[in-house]
Structure 1
């Protein structure tokens, strides 16, 4: 649960920064809520999908 909350928190922070910079460079309007929430959702999905496909190897007992 703490991992998921951390992903959402940092996703929002990075979304704000990336959204602000991209809006300033492109000359478009900046929407803080949209840019933060969008990156939160994308980051949450990507990390959980990667976690599903990439699992730590199972240790085998030496016989």
Structure 2
């Protein structure tokens, strides 16, 4: 549970930063809520998919 919350927190922070920089460079409008939530969803999906496919080596 703590791992999922950490992913959500940092996904939101990185989404804000990347969204702000990309909107400034492209001249578009910046939507903080959309940038943060989109990065959170992508982060959760990516980490869960990675955990599913990468299993620890059995002894």
Global fold match (TM > 0.5): yes
Higher-Rg structure is: 1
TM range (shorter): over 0.9
Gaps of 5+ in 2: none
Q: Which residue of 2 aligns with 1:52?
A: 52
Return the TM-score normalized by structure 1: 0.92
List structure 1 runs of 4+ shifted beyond 3 angstroms. Answer: none
SS of 2:22's equivalent in the other structure is helix
Alignment RMSD (CA, Å): 0.3
Q: Which residue of 1 aligns with 2:31?
A: 31
Q: Which residue of 2 aligns with 1:6?
A: 6
Return the TM-score normalized by structure 2: 0.99
Aligned residues: 59
Gaps of 5+ in 1: none
- Supply the distance in 2 between the matched residues of 1:35 and 1:52 (Cα, whole angstroms): 26
- Supply the distance in 2 between the matched residues of 1:8 and 1:47 (Cα, whole angstroms): 10
